[in-house]
Structure 1
Amino acid sequence: MYLIIALGLALVVWPSIIHHAEPWGLSQGVVKCMLAAFSLLCVAGIRYPLQMLPVLFWELTWKTIWMLIVFLPAWQNGTLNDDIIGTAIECAVVIIIPLAMPWRYVFAHYVKKDSDRWRAAPVAA
């Protein structure tokens, strides 16, 4: 999963970052930089797949929220446009993440495991 994301973003995002001729607007710049950072985190995920699972959680979460809050209402209201359809196609890749997720590990380490303490435990005298 990390490799698919990293390669996809390397083909789509990095060329526009390296070779952009004009300054970007605020939101375009934010999106491009966030996607570039995400691709680098996915490269780290290739080496450390379990430690980088929160990166996949983030991807799954934001794309699911976008599909529910933006795409689904536009589809139901008949107000889909080319931009929404294009983004929905890009977000549809999110269906692969739950298939690739090591759910037993996720349950054991993110649900069942005791949480970390916010403060150090008092030292016994």
Structure 2
Amino acid sequence: MNVMRLGYAFMGVGLALVKWPVLFQDVRSLPVMEGVVACLLTGMSLLAFLGLRYPVRMLPILLFEVAWKVIWLGTVAIPHLIANDLSTEARDVLFNCSFIVVIAAVIPWRYTWQRYARTPGDPWR
């Protein structure tokens, strides 16, 4: 549990240092998608801080973080790396996404597999 808390703290503090200042500046002056990303990641940081109190209940936040970064790495970064045409902006995102190893390392994967893949889902009625 405490290892998971380290992951939540890493994610929450990192996002707070990088995204909260953007939110407290004039967000209305940002391009629409940059504003969306700033708000989404600020919300993620708040939920990560909630994970400090409820590490197991907030596990989907860590899973979401791993999922979107792995998808981006596989569909955007790696093809551009192979083609050797990765832009400076994409290199910055790649650097930021590389920290996903910390989050992936703190997830209890055996529990995650049993809880989300092996356990029957809730009934539809």
TM-score, scaled to structure 2? 0.89
Q: Please tell me the root mean square deviation across aligned C-alpha atoms, in Å.
A: 1.3
Name the SS for the 2:98 alignment partner.
Answer: helix
Aligned mates of 1:110, 1:30 — CA distance in 2: 29
Aligned residue for 1:100?
Answer: 106
Name the SS for the 1:13 alignment partner.
Answer: helix
Higher-Rg structure is: 1
Report the count of equivalent residues. 119
Letter in 1 for 2:71: I
Letter in 2 for 1:33: C
Letter in 2 for 1:77: A
Structure 2 unpaired stretches of 5+: 1-6
Alignment of 1:80-119 (within 5 A): 80-119=86-125
Q: Which moved more, 1:84-93 or 1:21-30?
A: 21-30
Aligned residue for 2:82?
Answer: 76
Structure (1/2) with the larger helix percentage: 2
Aligned residue for 1:5?
Answer: 11
Aligned mates of 2:72, 2:83 — CA distance in 1: 16
Name the SS for the 2:99 alignment partner.
Answer: helix
TM-score, scaled to structure 1? 0.89
* Greater RCO, CA 8 A, separation 6+: 2
Letter in 2 for 1:44: L
Q: Does 1:53 align with 2:59?
A: yes
CA deviation after TM superposition for structure 1 residue 117, in Å: 0.8
Percent identity between matched residues is 35
Runs of 4+ aligned structure 1 residues displaced above 3 Å come to: none
Name the SS for the 1:17 alignment partner.
Answer: helix
Letter in 2 for 1:35: L
Aligned residue for 1:36?
Answer: 42
CA deviation after TM superposition for structure 1 residue 79, in Å: 0.5
38, 47, 72: which one aligns with 1:66: 72
Aligned residue for 2:4?
Answer: none
Structure 1 unpaired stretches of 5+: 120-125
